[in-house]
Amino acid sequence: MDKPTPGIRKRQQILRANRMMFVWVAIVSVVVGFSLVLVVFLGQKIAYGEKVIAEKNKTAATLDSNLKVVDGLKDNIRVLNTNENLNAARINGSGSALQVVLDALPAQANSTAMASSLQTQLLGGVPGISLESLRVEPVAGIEVDEGSASSSDSSNDGTNTIGFSFTVSAQTGGQEGLRDVLRRLERSIRPFTITSLSIETLGNRITMTGTGLGYYEPGQELKLTDKVVRP
C-alpha cells in the first residue's frame, strides 16, 4: 500500500489542528458565558442583600426613635393622672383619671351604648322633662352593612361621627328644665355637637327637638409586621 504523500499529511494535520482549535474555542466560550452568568447572579445577590440591610436599618431607626420618646410619654401620663379636672369627672372615684379620656372618646362606634347614655344620663331623668323620642343612627359600614343602609342612616362620613336626634317636652313654664338638658349635653365628658335645635309651644307644653353628632376615635394598633423585600 502506498504511503500518504507529504501534501496529504499536511492537510490532515491542518484539519486536526482546526478541530482542536474549534473544541478549545467552544470550551472557552462556555467558560466565559458561565462566568458572565455567575457575575450577574452574584451582582443581583449583593444588590438584594444591600436592599434587605437598608430595610433593617430603617426598622432599627424607627424602633430607636420610638424608644427615645417612651420616657416623655410616661411623664405625660403621670401628669394626666394628677389632673384635677379629669379626677373630678371620674364616674368611679377610685378609677384612673385617664379612664375619663377613654370614656370621652370611645374606640368603637357603639351607637347602642351612646343611646343608653343619652337616655339615662343626659336627656332622661331631668325633673319636669319628658323624653318623647330618641334616635341614634348606626354607623354605615361598621355597625350595619353599607349597601343596605339608607342615606338617613349613614352618619359616618369619614369623620368618626354618630348622628342622633331627640325630642323632649315640658309643661309651659318649664323652660329651666330644657336649659338643664342643654347644660347636661354641654358638660358631658363625651363631646357632642348640636347641629340643629328648635323649640315650639303646643297647647300647654313646650317641645324641644334637636339633632346632633357624637364622636368616637378608633384605637391605634401597634405591632411588628413582616415585610417581604423583593429582589
Q: Which residues pair with 198 in a beta bridge?
A: 209
Whether 118 is in a domain gets the answer yes
Cα 126 to Cα 59: distance, rounded to the nearest angstrom? 55
Assign residue 180 the CATH number of its domain: 3.30.70
Q: What is the pLDDT of residue 152?
A: 43
For residue 104 the three cell numbers come to: 370621652
Whether 200 is in a domain gets the answer yes
Whether 187 is in a domain gets the answer yes
The count of domains in the chain is 1
Query: pLDDT, tens digit, for every residue of 4-30?
Result: 566 677 777 778 877 888 888 888 888
pTM for the model stands at 0.60
Q: Which domain holds residue 158?
A: 105-215
Q: Which helix (H) or strand (E) holds 169?
A: strand 161-171
Q: What is the pLDDT of residue 145?
A: 62
